[in-house]
Amino acid sequence: DAGVIQSPRHEVTEMGQEVTLRCKPISGHNSLFWYRQTMMRGLELLIYFNNNVPIDDSGMPEDRFSAKMPNASFSTLKIQPSEPRDSAVYFCASSLRGGVAGDTQYFGPGTRLTVL
């Protein structure tokens, strides 16, 4: 069974460039989550979707960040323009029954982003 798939696994870019991170959730899962992890702040929820609809984007740092989920099997997180402080590991996770307490979230391997 394929887990959550993320691409690219590593991204190095220069400040000001656009970065697009991609995620394919586990087939049949209804909810998708984007997280960011840094040493200083730990793992932070950026945005999550239920049935392809954004439910809570209060964790998105600023307007430079945007996320889309055009269908049940694909989501993107875009940073434009990127800044050095965006350097982090970005995880995508999915769950079967989003909105249900106790539902397990399964994480992808993450994208390690470095902005120079």
- Residue numbers at the binding site for another protein (CB under 8 A): 31, 33, 41-45, 48, 50, 55-56, 91, 95, 98-110
For the chain, the residue count is 116
Q: Which is nearer to another protein, 25 or 108 (CB)?
A: 108
CB of 81 to another protein, least distance (A): 27
Q: Which is nearer to another protein, 75 or 95 (CB)?
A: 95
Q: Tell me, rounded to whole angstroms, the distance of Cα 49 from its chain centroid.
A: 10
C-alpha dihedral (77, 82, 86, 87), degrees to nearest 10: 100
Q: Which is nearer to another protein, 82 or 95 (CB)?
A: 95
CB of 82 to another protein, least distance (A): 22
Q: Which is nearer to another protein, 25 or 110 (CB)?
A: 110
CB of 98 to another protein, least distance (A): 5
Q: How far is residue 32's CA from residue 30's CA, in Å, rounded to a whole number?
A: 7
Q: How far is residue 20's CA from residue 11's CA, in Å, rounded to a whole number?
A: 9
CB of 41 to another protein, least distance (A): 8
Q: Which residues contact 58 (CB under 8 A, 6 or more apart)?
A: none
